[in-house]
Amino acid sequence: MEKKDIVLSGIRPTGNLHLGNYFGAVKNFVKMQETNKCFFFIADYHSLTTHPKPGDLQGNVRQVLVEYLAAGLDPEKATLYLQSDLPETAELYLFLNMNAYLGELERVTTFKEKARKQPDNVNAGLLTYPTLMAADILIHRSSYVPVGKDQEQHLEMTRTFARRFNRMYKNDYFPIPKAFNFGDDLIKIPGLDGSGKMGKSEGEGNAVFLAEDPKSIRKKVMRAVTDSGPTQKNQTKPEPIENLFTILKVVSKPDVVEYFDDQYNNMTIRYGDLKKQLAEDIIAFTTPFRDKVAEISANQDYINKVMKMGAEKASVSARQTVNDVRSIVGFKKIY
CB atoms within 10 A of CB 112: 11
Strands 37-42 and 79-82, bridge-based pairing: parallel
- The answer to the question of residue 9 lying near ligand TRP (CB under 6 A) is yes
276 tagged catalytic: no
- The answer to the question of residue 88 lying near ligand TRP (CB under 6 A) is no
* Distance separating alpha carbons of residues 277 and 279, to the nearest angstrom: 5
- The answer to the question of residue 133 lying near ligand TRP (CB under 6 A) is yes
Residue in 27, 170, 178, 197 annotated catalytic: 197
Residues in 20-59 that interact with ligand TRP by CB under 6 A: 43, 46
Shortest separation between residue 96's beta carbon and ligand TRP, angstroms = 13
Shortest separation between residue 323's beta carbon and ligand TRP, angstroms = 21
Shortest separation between residue 195's beta carbon and ligand TRP, angstroms = 23
- The answer to the question of residue 128 lying near ligand TRP (CB under 6 A) is no
* Distance separating alpha carbons of residues 143 and 146, to the nearest angstrom: 10
* Distance separating alpha carbons of residues 152 and 158, to the nearest angstrom: 10
Stretch that binds ligand TRP, among 63-71, 146-154, 192-200, 252-260 (CB under 6 A): 146-154
* Distance separating alpha carbons of residues 234 and 282, to the nearest angstrom: 26
Stretch that binds ligand TRP, among 5-13, 233-241, 283-291, 295-303 (CB under 6 A): 5-13
Helix axes 214-222, 271-297, angle to 10 degrees: 150
Stretch that binds ligand TRP, among 3-11, 63-71, 284-292, 326-334 (CB under 6 A): 3-11
First to last CA, the chain: 43
Q: Which residue is nearest to ligand TRP (CB)?
A: 10
Q: Of the two residues 9 and 33, which places its CB atom closer to ligand TRP in the complex?
A: 9
Q: Of the two residues 158 and 297, which places its CB atom closer to ligand TRP in the complex?
A: 158
Helix axes 271-297, 254-265, angle to 10 degrees: 160
Q: Of the two residues 86 and 145, which places its CB atom closer to ligand TRP in the complex?
A: 145
Percentages of the chain per state (helix, strand, coil), in multiples of 5: 60, 10, 35
Residue in 27, 77, 200, 276 annotated catalytic: 200
* Identity of residue 108: V
Q: Of the two residues 12 and 305, which places its CB atom closer to ligand TRP in the complex?
A: 12
* Distance separating alpha carbons of residues 227 and 229, to the nearest angstrom: 6
Output the DSSP codes for 30-82: HHHHHHSEEEEEE-HHHHGGG---HHHHHHHHHHHHHHHHHTT--TTTSEEEE
Stretch that binds ligand TRP, among 18-26, 113-121, 132-140, 201-209 (CB under 6 A): 132-140
- The answer to the question of residue 80 lying near ligand TRP (CB under 6 A) is no
Q: In the chain, how many H helices and how many E strands?
A: 15, 5
Q: Which of 5, 6, 7, 10 binds ligand TRP (CB under 6 A)?
A: 10
Q: Of the two residues 152 and 280, which places its CB atom closer to ligand TRP in the complex?
A: 152
77 tagged catalytic: no
332 tagged catalytic: no
230, 264 Cβ separation under 8 angstroms: yes
Q: Which of 151, 243, 277, 297 binds ligand TRP (CB under 6 A)?
A: 151
Q: Of the two residues 111 and 260, which places its CB atom closer to ligand TRP in the complex?
A: 111
H or E stretch at 259: helix 254-265
Active-site annotation, residues: 114, 197, 200
Interface contacts to ligand TRP, rule CB under 6 A: 8-10, 12, 43, 46, 133, 136-137, 145, 147, 151, 154
